[in-house]
Amino acid sequence: MLDRLTAAIDRHHTEPGAGSAVPRLSLVSVDEPIEPTGLLYEPMICFVSDGAKRTTAGDVSQVAHAGEMLMTTIDLPVAVRLDKVPYRSAVLSIDGAALAGLLVEVDETDPAAPATPVAPTAPAALTGQAAPTGQVAAPMPPELVEAVARWVELLDTPEDIRPLAPRIESEILYRLLRGSLGPALRQCAQDDSPAGRVRQAARWICEHYTEPVSIAAIAASAQMSPASLHRHFKAATGMSPLTYQKRLRLQEARRRLVAGATANQAAQAVGYVSATQFNREYRTAYGLPPARDAARLRTGPRPLPLDPPGPVTHGSLLP
């Protein structure tokens, strides 16, 4: 069944990062080793049919091999490395509205369906309530692989996409909700919960990442106390809110440098006031001063696609 999914991906993949004619479906196909890079993941599920990838957020790493899936439930700046190529995956961008509607149906037919998030892969769960889970990996059962393969194969018959794509997408989400990732997936549809509030805080940081921000302001955006925000945010993302902001800044600065900006231009564009601080934090993150790192990326192995020009967006799903 994995071979069937891989073949469908091979027939239709385009440039990494591009979407497809099927709503909320993106395909990734990479044959050669490529430069690890930083990406901003939005809530999504990556179904890996070949190869393996490793994502690191803060001090938490996840590896997804062929036959496994990696779910991200929050906007998350990650470092991505392909541990094994060739690499193939199909990526589902989570539609919160569709998920919420399906949850109503699932809970009506099965009131005993689990509603408590799974134990997080990030630091320990909080006393008294489960901590949000930012990323979690799990094996794909055969029936899920078959559904994802049928979803991708709709690209073979474009006339079937409009009537059938929403139905197959609902089937995929249903099977996920009924499986090991179900409790974590529910976090994506719960706004008034620790997971939902952390998601609000992360989105607020993405919208204000070039500005001076404080823990108090971030906490207010999520209607949480600063102490509670810090604990839940670290559990979900593997980093503090201010470190999260710094990762966004450095990723965008790196993209601008590769595109031809000077170190001073990149630093100012992402909100740094001190060039010395920018150079120090950049070197700590990437191992080289900004100009040397950018030159290496331009002449070395092809990197994974970075965010498109402009402010941080929520479309960087891949790989």
Asked whether residue 256 is assigned to any structural domain, the reply reads yes
Asked whether residue 96 is assigned to any structural domain, the reply reads yes
pLDDT band per the 50, 70, 90 thresholds, residue 119:
very low
pLDDT band per the 50, 70, 90 thresholds, residue 124:
very low
The C-alpha atoms of residue 281 and residue 242 are separated, in whole angstroms, by: 13
SS3 content of the chain, % helix, strand, coil (to 5): 45, 20, 35
pLDDT the model gives residue 319: 54
The C-alpha atoms of residue 285 and residue 101 are separated, in whole angstroms, by: 41
Asked whether residue 258 is assigned to any structural domain, the reply reads yes
Determine the average pLDDT of the residues in 46-64: 94
Provide the token pair at 161: 């996409």
pLDDT band per the 50, 70, 90 thresholds, residue 16:
low
Specify the pTM.
0.85
pLDDT the model gives residue 115: 39
Asked whether residue 232 is assigned to any structural domain, the reply reads no
Over 70: is that where the pLDDT of 126 sits?
no
Over 90: is that where the pLDDT of 303 sits?
no
108 CA to centre of own chain: 30
Q: Is 270 found in the same domain as 185?
A: no
Q: Is 24 found in the same domain as 146?
A: yes
User: For 133-158, what is each residue's pLDDT tens digit?
Assistant: 789 999 999 999 999 999 999 999 99
What is the domain range of residue 152?
1-195
Give the residue, 298 or 48, on which the prediction is more confident: 48
Q: Is 140 found in the same domain as 41?
A: yes
Over 70: is that where the pLDDT of 306 sits?
no
Task: Give 273's DSSP letter.
Answer: S
Which residue spans within the chain are E strands per DSSP?
A: 25-30, 37-41, 44-57, 60-65, 68-72, 76-93, 135-139
Q: Is 259 found in the same domain as 180?
A: no
> Which domain CATH number covers 251?
1.10.10.60
pLDDT exceeding 90 applies to what percent of the chain? 71
Q: Is 147 found in the same domain as 30?
A: yes
Over 60: is that where the pLDDT of 90 sits?
yes
> Which domain CATH number covers 125?
2.60.120.280
User: For 208-235, what is each residue's pLDDT tens digit?
Assistant: 999 999 999 999 999 999 999 999 999 9
Q: Is 255 found in the same domain as 191?
A: no
- The CA-based angle 279-280-284, given to 5 degrees, is 115
Asked whether residue 236 is assigned to any structural domain, the reply reads no
Q: Is 105 found in the same domain as 170?
A: yes
Q: Count of domains in the chain? A: 2
Only one residue has tokens 């994802």, namely 148
Q: Is 127 found in the same domain as 36?
A: yes
Provide the token pair at 186: 């529910």
Measured torsion, CA atoms of residues 210, 188, 102, 150, in degrees rounded to the nearest 10 = 80
